[in-house]
Structure 1
């Protein structure tokens, strides 16, 4: 008996690959074109900062919280942060409640690496009393709708929420007791991290895959960038990527990241 799901997958892949030969995609974009981006900030009133990102039909919400904590022994003068990504059953039929799925764990790690390696957060400024008290930042991402490319949408959501974050001011008395004040100060960011994920379908490469493209892709690679550097990379999928193709992807990622920054800046009205 035929496996119709495998057959449907093969037909879908063939149709998409045929379009890519002429630099066209099923949704009308070219290979190097991102979907429309919409960013709304301050959407979670209980968080210190938040954002809602819509990349095409893909939607992610991000909230930033913070608490006083003890620094790690090997970095007594630095604050810390962590990234969590959770998939909601609202995202699509393949998602369920329960422990984090492998995809969610990978997206959290990739987003963490983009932020960490870009040195977007000045961890030393999150230290209140060296060796004793720091701010610990929690960047919590939740998917609302999966139409492909959670990786880049998550990076945009995390940055936008951090830019929207205002931490409580503190007062330290002579005995080292910390008082948390009602006033808040915007979190200072040192760089503008953006990731670009490139997908391989047969011998074709495209960015910002929609869900149909993502499901049939042979491989993908995500590069995290700042305004001046490539800071991180993560490959997924079973197929390899040739070295000359990788160099072209790197160059293209830098170019597209710059264009994305312009779109994000426009959405967030950054001076």
Structure 2
């Protein structure tokens, strides 16, 4: 399969010279994110997120399963990612790339390890029946920063999702169809949002939400996952140039502003969709 070519020397130099002057190739300022578009499907838990030209679809499903023996009163939260060659010629069909594995780990840490979702609230009968919530992420277009787009898609889909209502009488469990009884939203403790930074010129230059071209030229990257309560859920830096502590602190301050903006956009979109249904 033909892979996408790395940017030419002229492209790289042009991008870096623009950054030194405080500009970016696509016209944004260095701390600007691309426009976010949220589209909801007809089913609960189905959402498509477009971040610039990067596009990710998320679908949430639920089934009743036996809990893990070591966690008899907790439900399950599972994530599955799929990056097909349709998104980019960089990816081969049927094989998981390093980038896909990294994205899966960051999303899992952001959602599950930060306990964004109340998994104990997914318990139906302790030790017998719990809800298993699965989030499938399909990457449809890759123009950089798949992590942030996937994170927004995952948490928005979880907030939008409704599971069937359940009645428990003794040992008898009744799962009510959604057309007979109103479905129940998940209990979400907080909304974690990933904000990715790209670094250039030995860390002297920095951008938020790098495009594919900017990712090819960058010397390092870092993803901060944060919520509006100023809690850092995860911080991921996979290789690249080392960063000073003041750079990390500056990134966290910028991330908080972006997290607040994105959270407001998500909540507004959910409210508009609720009115429209």
Same-fold status (TM-score > 0.5): yes
Contact 1:39 1:268 in 2 (8 A): no
Runs (4 or more) in structure 1 with deviation over 4 Å come to none
Contact 2:160 2:270 in 1 (8 A): no
> How far 1:222 sits from its partner (Å)?
0.7
Corresponding residue for residue 258 of structure 1: 260
Query: CA 1:68–1:237 in structure 2 vs 1: closer, same or farther (change >3 Å)?
Result: same
Distance in 2, Cα, partners of 1:23 & 1:209: 14
The answer to whether structure 1 residue 92 and structure 2 residue 88 are counterparts is yes
Contact 1:38 1:267 in 2 (8 A): no
Please list every run of 5 or more consecutive structure 1 residues that lacks an aligned counterpart in the other structure.
none
Please list every run of 5 or more consecutive structure 2 residues that lacks an aligned counterpart in the other structure.
none
Distance in 1, Cα, partners of 2:211 & 2:267: 23
What is the DSSP-based 3-state SS (H/G/I as helix, E as strand, rest coil) of the residue aligned with 1:269? Answer: helix
What is the DSSP-based 3-state SS (H/G/I as helix, E as strand, rest coil) of the residue aligned with 1:65? Answer: strand
Distance in 1, Cα, partners of 2:175 & 2:34: 42
Corresponding residue for residue 79 of structure 1: 75
Contact 1:118 1:226 in 2 (8 A): no
Contact 2:161 2:186 in 1 (8 A): yes
Contact 1:64 1:140 in 2 (8 A): yes
Corresponding residue for residue 124 of structure 2: 128
> How far 1:260 sits from its partner (Å)?
1.8
Distance in 2, Cα, partners of 1:267 & 1:66: 23
What is the DSSP-based 3-state SS (H/G/I as helix, E as strand, rest coil) of the residue aligned with 1:91? Answer: coil
Distance in 2, Cα, partners of 1:117 & 1:10: 41
Give the CA RMSD over aligned residues: 1.8
Corresponding residue for residue 227 of structure 1: 228
Distance in 1, Cα, partners of 2:271 & 2:25: 32
> How far 1:233 sits from its partner (Å)?
1.0
TM-score normalised per structure 2: 0.89
Alignment partner of 1:181 out of 176, 179, 182: 176
User: 1:107-122 maps to which residues of 2 (within 5 A)?
Assistant: 107-122=103-118
User: 1:192-271 maps to which residues of 2 (within 5 A)?
Assistant: 192-202=191-201, 203-228=204-229, 229-269=231-271
Corresponding residue for residue 27 of structure 1: 26
